[in-house]
Amino acid sequence: MPTPHLLRRTAFALSLAVAGTPALAADTPRHGGSAVLAIDTTGMAMLNTDLTSFSPALFIADLWADGLMAKDAQGRRIPHLATSWNTSDDGKTYTFKLRQGVKWSDGQPFTAKDAAFTLTAFGKLNTYLSKLYPLITKVETPDDYTMVVTLSQPITAAMDLFDKENFPLMPEHVYAGTDIPTNPANRKPVGLGPYKLDNWEPGRSISFVRNPNYWDQPKPYLDSVVVAVIPSPQQQLNAVIQGEADWVQLDFSQIERAQEAAKNGKIKVVKIEMNAPERSSLDFNFRRAPLGDARVRQALFFATDRQRISNDAYRGLAFPAKSAIPVQFKDLYDPSVNYDTMYPYDPKKAGELLDQAGLPMKNGTRFSVELTYQALSPYDSVAKSIAAQWKEIGVDVRLTGLDAQIWVDKVYNRNDFDISLVSLTGRSDPTLGVDRSFVCNPAHVPYTNPSGYCNPELDKIAAAAAAAPQEQRRALYKQYEEIVARDLNEISLTNAPTYNAAATKFQGLDKLFDISFNEHPSWADTWLPAGSQ
């Protein structure tokens, strides 16, 4: 947690910067000032989001990283490092024309070779590119500002995969010839974003300063952005209310208090309307008895009151998931597959299935399992709610809350778990965010199906749905939903919205505030009017 001295120094620097800037029109962006973001970075080992999808790293990536394209507040693609792009008629070849004269934050030139290197060197390590990478047949750079990617089959959502959120660009001159996962640049990145890393003081703060080489001049407008490391959700909001921090993604336990505090006009609470589906789910390890038995997994689903989980952990703001395909994908979700009717809360039915599976009640217990999760809110509340519910049917649950990196290693690298609780975004398309929970993952990619479940039938349908024209995909996803509902390598519990609290003194804060998968302000566009404190 940052000390009061750190926050006072930041506020003091902010007041000096604002006071020393010439007056401009009230609606004209101006340079100067700073912002403080309240984020719990506990367990964050790196900043490189090609290698991690840990939420704090994703929030911070917008400061230092960039990509080929982004989306505006209406969800339209807008050029960033790519100035234009086109797709071949057969949907297999993608050509990107890149911005010229751009430099990395260390002053080295950016070229098409960097984009190609990112795709070929990081593609197999990037959770979101796990569906694209195996289909790449060649990546060409016919000149310094053109990249051509050819796939063995089309992917309907391919352009979303090239978005900066999924495909942050990395410098070849920093990573070539190195062991990428251990390269020091993963903690001290060289990027194309509006800010560059100034200092990382573990457990206290991460500070960024304006990147003089940023391609979109005269942005950014702020002199610096400081990430204040504040583990407690209550203390995070306290810092925003007291003016010591300027932004926080709210924990569900703090939303009501934030809404009350916002009545003074100094902060506002923003519900992200175009958010990616946020799916809290349980992954079962098929390698361990009795979880390899479908009847056991079905029984545990029947024994789970998902509305109670919403009430216990999400203050009633989440809603029970309907199927593997989130309802936010309105054109793809088929309502005929509905967990509410297929797996209603029914402890009696759960007990009958466990009896059939040869797991009778003995002295009040049928069997024991370990439930592992990141020791963060709301996971801890979800885990406790599940443990209490399953105890009623004789399942003893040992709760193991872990540091994020230890949890990733235990679940995804070593597969040393019984059941894992995770919350994953569905991104903009099932190909990006949902397939990773169900498609076979022999490569141990983090945040990607750790269960050992490999079903060629499902994998074939997932591939067909990814490549099909939009009007044909819903029928395929219905089959997808049916298979998952039968096999249950993972059960989706709830689907939750996202809320931010932010200081109202900033302008430009809302430019990308509501866009999917960028569920926080655009700090490149944010500026402080004269006289703001």
* Pair 424, 321: CB distance under 8 Å: no
Are 88 and 197 in a shared domain?
no
What is the C-alpha to C-alpha distance for residues 530 and 27, in angstroms, rounded to an integer?
Answer: 10
Q: Token pair of 226, please?
A: 């400081």
Q: How many CA atoms are closer than 13 Å to the CA of 50, on its beta-carbon side?
A: 32
pLDDT score, position 509: 86
What range defines the domain where residue 409 resides? 278-496
Q: How, if at all, do strands 146-151 and 77-79 pair?
A: unpaired
> How many CB atoms are closer than 10 A to CB 360?
10
Q: Which segments within 5-79 are labelled E, that is strand? A: 34-39, 69-71, 77-79
- Taking CA atoms, 174 is separated from 86, 99, 141, 170, in Å, by 29, 20, 19, 8
Are 309 and 350 in a shared domain?
yes
255: enclosing H helix or E strand = helix 255-261
- Taking CA atoms, 192 is separated from 87, 369, 471, in Å, by 25, 45, 37
Q: Token pair of 528, please?
A: 């402080």
String of DSSP letters for 296-331 = HHHHHHHT--HHHHHHHHHTT-SEE--SSS-TT-TT
Q: What is the domain-level CATH number for residue 170?
A: 3.40.190.10
What is the C-alpha to C-alpha distance for residues 350 and 353, in angstroms, rounded to an integer?
Answer: 5
Q: Token pair of 376, please?
A: 């963060």
Contacts of 406 (CB under 8 A, 6+ apart): 43
Q: How, if at all, do strands 419-425 and 367-374 pair?
A: parallel
Are 261 and 310 in a shared domain?
no
What is the C-alpha to C-alpha distance for residues 346 and 301, in angstroms, rounded to an integer?
Answer: 9
Residue 321 lies in a domain: yes
What is the C-alpha to C-alpha distance for residues 386 and 280, in angstroms, rounded to an integer?
Answer: 12
Are 241 and 335 in a shared domain?
no
The rounded Cα 414 to chain-centroid distance in angstroms is 22
Q: What is the domain-level CATH number for residue 291?
A: 3.10.105.10
What is the C-alpha to C-alpha distance for residues 445 and 443, in angstroms, rounded to an integer?
Answer: 6
Are 350 and 416 in a shared domain?
yes
pLDDT score, position 91: 92
Are 239 and 101 in a shared domain?
no
Are 429 and 488 in a shared domain?
yes
Domain count, the chain: 3
Are 246 and 351 in a shared domain?
no
What is the C-alpha to C-alpha distance for residues 501 and 244, in angstroms, rounded to an integer?
Answer: 13
Please give the order of strands across the beta sheet that includes 82-87: 82-87, 93-98, 146-151, 136-143
pLDDT score, position 482: 98
Residue 283 lies in a domain: yes
Are 429 and 479 in a shared domain?
yes
pLDDT score, position 3: 42
Residue 262 identity: A
Q: Token pair of 123, please?
A: 């593609």
pLDDT along the chain (533 residues), means of 10: 41 37 66 96 91 89 95 86 96 97 98 97 88 92 98 91 91 97 97 97 96 97 97 96 96 95 96 80 97 98 97 92 94 96 98 98 97 93 97 98 93 97 89 93 90 97 93 97 98 92 93 70 92 70
- Taking CA atoms, 477 is separated from 44, 132, 309, 321, 474, in Å, by 35, 19, 27, 16, 5
Residues in the chain: 533
Residue 519 lies in a domain: no
Residue 513 lies in a domain: no
Residue 149 lies in a domain: yes
Per-position b or e across 103-134, b if 16+ CB within 10 A of its CB: ebbeeeebbbbbbbbbbebbbebbbbbbbbbe
Are 402 and 431 in a shared domain?
yes
Are 462 and 398 in a shared domain?
yes
Are 390 and 331 in a shared domain?
yes
Provide the β-strand partners of residue 490.
Answer: 283
